């Protein structure tokens, strides 16, 4: 199976998981990236079965709208039963690294609101220890050098993601070579640096369910 076929399989598995629980008033949180895009395309075939979606990025909002799925502002939504999104890495505790697509802040906000966070990923994303994928950190532009210096003090090698501006108008530092021992602690520590908007560790609020696409089929991991 190709990587795209694995992504498609987990997108369908996420849909199969949520479909029986959807009601006409349900609003679904939708993530960003190539795996999330497969989910959006699958979701579109059932757009009559729910009310609409909250998007974690402008790109996702656009794709949802193209499919005719209503997109709501998070502030106007009282309940979000499900958030479905991909990841760059997950460990067995379903702590994640996200932000490869620079959408980490909105993704973290939508995940915080959702009752159930379903992560969908192909098997290459499951790792024993987080950190081979450089950790994305969203930073207020004027704080870039300060934050970079602080990240070096934490043992990382931050690299400015050239030419990328987030949907919130900020920049991204990708931090290489971090020793991620206790992920919730490091997540809080980095978020405490003045000028950081948030970082791509999803450990304080990990996924609730990981649907992992493997050559033997979709595996379900829970915490």
Active site amino acids: 107
Closest contact distance (angstroms) between CB of 97 and ligand 5RP is 8
Closer Cβ to ligand 5RP, 134 or 158, answer by number: 134
| Residue in 27, 60, 88, 111 binding ligand 5RP, rule: CB under 6 A | 88
| Residue in 15, 50, 80, 98 binding ligand 5RP, rule: CB under 6 A | 98
Closer Cβ to ligand 5RP, 23 or 172, answer by number: 172
Beta strands in the chain (DSSP E): 27-30, 52-55, 82-85, 89-90, 96-97, 116-122, 135-139, 157-160, 171-176, 196-199, 201-202, 209-214, 217-222
Site membership for ligand 5RP, residue 29 (CB under 6 A): no
List, as one string, the DSSP characters of 145-177.
HHHHHHHHHTT-EEEE-TT---TTS-EEEEEES
Tokens linked to 85: 């999104």
| Residue in 18, 28, 29, 33 binding ligand 5RP, rule: CB under 6 A | 33
At residue 163, φ and ψ (nearest 5 deg) are 75, 5
Site membership for ligand 5RP, residue 199 (CB under 6 A): no
Radius of gyration of the chain (CA): 17
Question: Which residues make up each annotated binding site for substrate?
Answer: 32-35, 85-88, 98-101, 125
Closest contact distance (angstroms) between CB of 70 and ligand 5RP is 22
**Helix (H) and strand (E) counts in the chain:** 6, 13
CA–centroid distance for 128 within its chain: 19
Site membership for ligand 5RP, residue 34 (CB under 6 A): yes
| Residue in 6, 17, 27, 35 binding ligand 5RP, rule: CB under 6 A | 35
Stretch that binds ligand 5RP, among 79-87, 157-165, 168-176, 180-188 (CB under 6 A): 79-87
């Amino acid at each position: 199976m190709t990587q795209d076929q694995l992504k498609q399989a987990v997108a369908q598995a996420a849909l199969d998981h949520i479909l029986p629980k959807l009601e006409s008033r349900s609003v679904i949180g939708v993530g960003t990236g190539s795996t999330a895009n497969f989910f959006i395309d699958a979701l579109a075939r059932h757009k009559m079965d729910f009310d609409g979606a909250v998007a974690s990025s402008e790109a996702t909002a656009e794709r949802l709208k193209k499919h005719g799925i209503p997109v709501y502002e998070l502030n106007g939504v009282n309940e979000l039963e499900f958030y479905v999104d991909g990841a760059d890495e997950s460990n067995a505790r379903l702590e994640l690294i996200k932000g490869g697509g620079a959408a980490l802040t909105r993704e973290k906000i939508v995940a915080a609101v959702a009752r159930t966070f379903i992560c969908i990923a192909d098997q290459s994303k499951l790792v024993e220890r987080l950190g081979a994928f450089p950790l994305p950190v969203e930073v207020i532009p004027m704080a870039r050098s300060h934050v970079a210096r602080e990240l070096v003090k934490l043992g990382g090698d931050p690299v400015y993601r050239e030419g990328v501006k987030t949907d919130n108008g900020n920049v991204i530092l990708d931090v290489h070579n971090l020793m991620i021992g206790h992920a919730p602690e490091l997540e809080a520590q980095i978020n405490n640096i003045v000028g950081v908007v948030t970082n791509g560790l999803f450990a304080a609020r990990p996924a609730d369910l990981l649907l992992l696409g493997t050559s033997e089929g979709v595996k379900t991991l829970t915490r």
